[in-house]
Amino acid sequence: MKIIVGSRESRLAVIQSELVMEAIRRSHPEIALELVTMKTTGDRILDRTLDKIGGKGLFVRELDAALRDGRADLTVHSCKDLPMELPPDLPIAAFSRREDPCDALVLPAGAALDTGRPIGCASARRRVQLQGLFPGVEVRPIRGNVLTRLQKLDAGEYGALVLAVSGLKRLGLESRISRRFSPQELLPAAGQGILAVQCREGMDASFLGCVQDREATLCALAERAFVRELGGGCSSPVAAYAAVSGASITITGLYVDDAERTSRGTAQGPAEQGEHLARELAKKLKEDALCRAK
């Protein structure tokens, strides 16, 4: 049996795909694996923010096509980069164990935070929260993969970056972290730190049991349900973070209205009801924001 794994061609994407492939090799040595990389539309267009060019779907379009035409049997993604609405013929077959879900402040090598230079980040979610953490400091969009962003930082274009801890750790760049923001300080993106593996509808993906993680699955589904309920995407400053403890799940969500007034709240209940709890929390936060706006 041979399985072809499709991946974006960035170093981080390849490392993440190899993590999934290594898990499969350990449990199923009889499966031959091949990695195929490709540049997506989102990787090619770097002079505009995602909300201006079509959203997160631009990072999966070519990979989805490869699944459909048989050039790939599986594709591996950072869960936070997947669109909230997925085609039914390309289901998520597994969510990996979660790496650190938090965001990190990264400074130029050997330098302190220069508040006269902008903080670079790639999402509205981070921008809104950073403006509260660092009042008066400019927050400016930045595109490109992690290594490209670090090059721009070290060249003096930015005073700091905010990047996912998980990506830095997987790249072996944990030493670049100057400050780790707790979820209470800066709420992560839905699915941050989790890898999602997609396949074709009807494919026997039972061998991915070696990748699948129960807690990460419950958290990813709840967090994505929260964002989906609010119609959130790459241009929407929506955030959600869930944590499982035993049979219970706690979900914290952030909703930001058009005037950038924030509503934040938490819901807790049975872990298996996480998606329902998340949707109800999203509705409540939106209603609270509407009431405050009147």
DSSP 118: P
Model pLDDT, residue 79: 96
In angstroms, the Cα distances linking 223 to 114, 128, 182 are 34, 19, 17
pLDDT-above-90 percentage for the chain: 79
Sheet holding 160-164, edge to edge: 139-141, 119-121, 160-164, 103-106, 177-181
Amino acid 46: pLDDT:
46
Cβ(8)–Cβ(58) below 8 Å: no
pTM score above 0.85: yes
Per-residue pLDDT band at 50 (split at 50, 70, 90): very low
Q: Which of 113-127, 204-218, 221-235 holds the top average pLDDT? A: 204-218
- The pLDDT tens digits of the residues spanning 173-215 come to 999 999 999 999 999 999 999 999 999 999 999 999 999 999 9
Establish whether 81 is a catalytic residue.
yes
Pairing of strands 2-8, 32-38: parallel
> Across the chain, what does the average pLDDT equal?
91
* Residue from 81, 89, 100, 257 carrying the catalytic annotation: 81
pLDDT at 45 over 70: no
